[in-house]
Homo-oligomer: A and B are copies of this chain.
Amino acid sequence: MRPLITAIGLLLAWEALTWATGVPVYILPPPSRVAVVLVERFDLLMEQAAWTAAEMILGLALGLVLGAVLAVVFAASAGWRRWALPLVIVSQAIPVIAIAPLLVLWLGYGMASKVAMAALVIFFPVVSTLYDGLRRTDQGWLDLAQTMDACPRAVLLQIRLPAALPAFASGARIAAAVAPIGAVIGEWVGASAGLGYLMTQSLARGQTPLAFAALFLLCLLGLALYHATDRAARRLVPWQSPQGE
């Protein structure tokens, strides 16, 4: 119920904004206009949304796995960290237009290059937060494990990793929120389908309401994915805050 009220409230705010600022339809159409297009072009939009949703979900899955693996590797090995951490940071600074030709060269124009591009955007918050979490393990637990003759691998997997799950959840939330833009960026690598593609195309042809209908769906997908991830993340960390009495 409440999310519905919020949604309606936000749409009304948007409608009011377009009225109040007098912003032209071809720059920011009011939701009423967008709604009309949404109904008229429903089939087209759904088709493209399915495409983008697939990219988002694959990208997020790949990003989460890749991010988690990298964070664990960084936490386990100073050697790897020294070499690969700068690469990971730098990977965030590279605009899609610089890397797209490379991806196409290596992965072709199919889904693979798009998912790879999306994952490149999505994986970073996961690496970063999880690695931070892995660095902040309670010293008491580490001492205890040391007296128990635990090998570093067991400490990492059985103590540091579970202890860092709240941090992972934090990273996964960010990853879910950027998944839509990851998918759209992936579509830049050379797509002929997807909401991002539809958006670019309709913006180029002045069909702003259609572009915003696509954007609206993209946002819905984003919210849905975010909430799904949020729920999963909460389930991941059922215990109280680390110091809980």
Contact = CB atoms under 8 A, between A and B. Distances in A.
B82 A27 contact: no
Given A27-B105, A174-B128, A244 B138 contact: yes
A178 interface: yes
Interface string A83-120: 10011011011110110011001000000000000000
Copies in the complex: 2
Interface in A195-209: 196, 199-200, 203
Interface string A1-22: 0110011011000000000000
Interface of A: 2-3, 6-7, 9-10, 23, 27-28, 82-83, 86-87, 89-90, 92-95, 97-98, 101-102, 105, 124-125, 128-129, 132-133, 136-141, 166-167, 169-170, 173-174, 177-178, 180-181, 184-185, 196, 199-200, 203, 211-212, 215, 218-219, 221-223, 226, 240-245
